Chains A and B, each alone.
Chain A
Amino acid sequence: MLMKTPGGALSTRPLHFIWMVDTSGSMSYDGKIQALNNAIREAIPHMQQVAEDNPNAQVLVRSITFSSGAMWNIPKPTPVADFQWEDVKAEGTTDLANALFMVADQLRMPPMNERALPPVLVLLSDGQPTDEFDAGLKALMSEPWGQKAVRVAIAMGADADHETLQKFIGNPQMRPLQANNPEALVRHIKWASTAVLKAASTPVQQAAAPAATAPPAPSGPPMASSAPASAPPMAAPTAAPAPAPAPQPVYIAPVVIPTPPVYTGPANDDVW
């Protein structure tokens, strides 16, 4: 490794990004599940670009699906540069609470780091939960990282339960995004995986803008100067795990520049 100066890259914090995807039977109608698979795949390169341009965050992505029960279809927090989306299939009921319990388990410390950026949870659903949603949400909100998470919801189709999605978001200034067609779905998913991701790590602040932006901006990670400060930072960790030592670059000089020796020769050589 050729380095002209010492040190390493800027220190980063992990930013966990979790897709929560409804794969209930109703998602199999009208090509909704195909549209969803396509929209997430379409968003990945944009998401990778946002992460590439951000020196402060180490973006780690995973995904959970819920139908009759829930399962992590991508269980490992995956660096966004390596993230790939395998098609998911739709069948069964809408056990959203099950997914919320499982996400809550993963947002507990450990396995979560005590030191991170706010996680981003993006919920995509087309219907009403068939299990105990309130209990699942309570479990999520009982975890400090669950409370801190930026929660975004995308309603797919006209039958989505907005009330449930609004409860999940937990912020009256931010509404579920309505996607009634594949183009809108692509737009919303792209927005959630770029603008929200960026706002959760290195936000740019605008003065209260006269014009509304589309899609609506989240107020969780503030984008308006009047945004209220969220809860105070978490308590200091008592025993933060020491990170692995960064590899030390080895300096290999491309060209050795000699230091001019001091002249001590005969006086008649002093000007040439």
Chain B
Amino acid sequence: MPAGTLGRGQSVRIGAGGLCRVDELLGTGGQGEVYRVTMGKESFALKWYYPESATLQQHHALELLIRKGPPDDRFLWPMALCTVPGHAGYGYLMRLREHRFKCIVDLMKRRIDPSFRALATAGFELADSYLKLHAAGLCYRDISFGNVFFDPSSGEVLICDNDNVSVDDGTLKGVQGTIGFMAPEIMSDAAAPSTQTDLWSLAVLLFYMFMISHPLEGRLESSIGCLDYGAKVGLYGREAVFTFDPDNESNRPDPDFHQNAITFWPLYPRLLRDRFVQAFTKGIDKPYARVRESEWKSAMIRLRDMIVYGPTGAENFYDSENSGPAIDWATGDTIQLPPRLHIGKTVIMLNSDTKLFPHHLDPSRLYDFSRPIAEVTQHPTNPGLWGLRNLSGDDWTVTVAGNTKTVEPTRSVSLAPGTQIAFGASTGEIQI
């Protein structure tokens, strides 16, 4: 790694308080450099601005962000302003990004291989975090490939580069976004970044993650020779057409260049496809019609519940509203469907690794994946027998063929069709 502005061992003052020491340069970006620094036994990241980026405006923005604090722990948020004696510039301290978090570019280049479940979890976490950011009156301004990271094994998310976050006051200053992610109204200079334009960028990012392609890149894109700025203004701005617009087929994916979109689109259940249609048809010129974060959250949760496994273990989605057989994308075989649990309008496919969480039984509960309240389990002595184990602290009342029984915590009930389970807040029924 080449030397940066700050040398190894350099003392850096954190706010008006203590000192940390520079260990090494981790990377450079358009606005500055990021170092690993140590304070006592703890390591942090220090972003140090280039002189031309160390503006008064940026300083004020950081002061505001530090004062407000992070919307949640998924943001690598500025913690304190930092200075170096003898240097005119400044920087800020933040948490280090763990190595298990990978960039979305790694997904686009298929250098990582997350499961559909991990993607749905990442989609949920992103929507949840941006909802909290927006609820705090802030907008991100540049949701794009470079500043979102996720753990491909779990779907946990980290959001970086938060120094561009600003109050959603409609002013035209700072970062406008990354072309391809910017809302059409920004591309045509008709609006400044806002919560509404963040929603567009979030939808683009989610589409990229699920389809490994861009929602507006179909035949209109493949027919462009030189994709320069003027062409991009048309494609992503004033002439934007969704590739799967049900009422406009002019920009369908081109099999020569957009095979991913053609491959992935039919694999997803209608609920996800409908969200993308809404986001990229009405949402093109009606910012108020864009898909809200809470709608994405709900869609991502339902996606997780629809996963079934093909004969070789490949994940597929099964839509219970779809009456046809489920065909495995990996082998082309018909999938043997597991039993499913109906709770109100929610349908949960009961695979051997399915877990139920508080929100499944009580829609008013917050999403919490840390404490499952039920899991599918195998009988300890009869491997052919599967059941649903009670991991909650409360008794369940089950009705099987007219007989009522109690299933205490840690005990299990068989996955027999017609079994009704009173969980307390709600009642579910096992069906095939």
Interface residues of A in 215-272 (CB under 8 A from B): 221-222, 225, 227, 229-237, 240, 242-243, 246, 249, 251-265, 267, 269-272
Checking B176, B182, B405 against A271 with a beta-carbon cut-off of 8 angstroms, the contacting residue is B405
CA distance A207 to B171 in the complex (A): 10
Check B175–A240 contact: CB distance below 8 A: no
Selecting from B221-229, B241-249, B270-278, the interface stretch reads: B221-229
Interfacial chain A residues near B227, Cβ < 8 Å: 13, 115-118, 233
From known contacts A7-B263, A251-B330, A262-B417, infer whether A205 and B175 are also in contact, taking CB-CB under 8 Å. Answer: yes
B146 CB–A CB distance under 8 Å? yes
B352 in the interface, Cβ–Cβ < 8 Å? yes
Residues on B with C-beta less than 8 A from A90 are none
B226 in contact with A53 (CB, 8 Å): no
**Contact in complex: B229, A227 (CB < 8 Å):** yes
CB distance from A50 to the nearest CB of B (A): 11
> What is the chain B residue whose CB lies nearest that of A150?
B228
B101 interface contact, C-beta 8 A? no
B114 and A265 contact, CB distance less than 8 A: no
Question: Which A residues are in CB contact (< 8 Å) with B315?
Answer: 4-5
The contact of A2 among B103, B113, B259, B350, by CB within 8 Å, is B113
- Give which listed residue, B55, B108, B330, contacts A211 with CB less than 8 A: B55
Q: Which residues of B contact A261 (CB under 8 A)?
A: 384, 386
Do residues B230 and A232 form an inter-chain contact, with CB atoms below 8 A?
Answer: yes
A144 touches B113 (CB 8 A): no
Interface string of B205-231 (1 = CB under 8 A from A): 000100011000100001111111111
Binds A, one of B63-71, B285-293, B396-404: B396-404
Helix, strand, loop or mixed for chain B's interface? loop
Contact present for A229 and B177 (CB under 8 Å): no
How far, in Å, is B254 (CB) from chain A's closest CB? 9
CB distance from A222 to the nearest CB of B (A): 5
Q: Looking across the interface, which residue of chain A has its beta carbon closest to that of B338?
A: A259
Assembly CA distance A9 to B106 (angstroms): 9
Report the Cα distance A116→B177, complex, angstroms. 23
Report B-chain residues with C-beta under 8 Å of the C-beta of A263. Answer: 385-387, 414-416
Interface mask (A180-207 → B, CB under 8 Å = 1, otherwise 0): 0000000000000001000000111111
A54 at the interface (CB under 8 A from B): yes
A172 interface residue, CB < 8 Å from B?
Answer: no
Query: Is A111 an interface residue when CB atoms closer than 8 A count as contact?
Result: no
From A52, A243, A272, contact of B256 by CB (8 A): A243
Residues of B within 8 Å of A3, CB to CB, are 110, 113
Q: Given A5-B115, A272-B412, 9 more contacts at CB 8 Å?
A: A6-B267, A10-B109, A56-B180, A204-B178, A232-B231, A259-B337, A261-B384, A265-B382, A271-B405
Using a CB–CB cutoff of 8 Å, the interface residues on chain B facing chain A are 30, 52-53, 55, 57, 103, 105, 108-110, 113-116, 119, 142, 144-146, 172-180, 182, 186, 189, 192, 208, 212-213, 217, 222-231, 233-234, 256-260, 263-264, 267, 308-309, 311-315, 329-331, 335-339, 350-353, 376, 378-380, 382, 384-387, 398, 400-401, 403, 405, 407, 411-417, 419, 432
A–B Cβ pairs within 8 angstroms, 28 of them:
A7-B264, A53-B105, A55-B145, A114-B225, A118-B226, A148-B228, A202-B178, A202-B179, A203-B179, A204-B178, A205-B179, A206-B175, A211-B52, A229-B233, A230-B230, A233-B230, A235-B225, A236-B225, A251-B330, A257-B309, A259-B338, A260-B352, A260-B386, A262-B416, A269-B379, A270-B414, A271-B387, A272-B380
